Amino acid sequence: MHFSSKALLRVAALAVVATSLGGCSFMGLNFGMAQLSEKECLMRAMYFESNRSSSEGMLAVGTVVMNRLNDPRYPKSVCGVVGQKNQFAQGVLSKKMTDSGAVLAAQMADQVLAGARHPGVQNAQHFHTAGLRFPYNNMHYVLEAGGNEFYEKY
């Protein structure tokens, strides 16, 4: 099979663009996520999804991630859970962490990966912004922490 130099340049350019998409998807392939460690994925979820100054809120978000990890309906890795489409903040795996909350998130991620859990979260696998309440019969609220309401679904 013979490829023209133009075709090879296009393929090379496409590969460069695809691999620079950090956390994005191209033609169904995820780029960037494989470069992140489980700790980095967890700390990013905690950083972007909670009040960055609240260790309690970060611990609660980390507990939700681990609760999902232990459920066969969710991906089998922390990065898979955090990177699941429409589940966590947009850009959670690619945005820059720009303040001191990243240090706290790293510390809290270490604790969660070592087995720490927020007892108030219980078995909750879901949360949304605090101050909102939905009257659905299949939701049981268990905790408010770090600017979020945590709930179990029946």
Domain boundaries, the chain: 1-35, 36-153
How remote is the C-alpha of 65 from its chain's centroid? Answer: 8
Amino acid at 93: L
Which tokens go with 148? 């979020």
Angstrom CA distances, 137 to 87, 91, 122, 124, 127, stand at 21, 31, 19, 15, 16
Distance CA 27, CA 24 (A): 10
Distance CA 122, CA 63 (A): 8
**Vertex 104 angle, CA 101 and 107, to 5°:** 150
Neighbours of 107 (CB within 10 A): 13
**In 3D, which of 59, 150, 75, 72 has the Cα closest to residue 113?**
59
**In 3D, which of 38, 78, 84, 62 has the Cα closest to residue 150?**
62
The mean-pLDDT minimum among 12-26, 32-46, 59-73, 110-124 falls in: 12-26
For position 136, what pLDDT does the model report?
A: 86
What is the per-residue pLDDT across 81-123, written as a single tens digit (0 to 9) for each?
999 999 999 999 999 998 889 999 999 999 999 999 999 999 9
* DSSP character at residue 114: T
Give the architecture (CATH level 2) of 36-153.
Answer: Orthogonal Bundle (1.10)
pLDDT at 53 over 80: no
For position 24, what pLDDT does the model report?
A: 41
Amino acid at 126: H
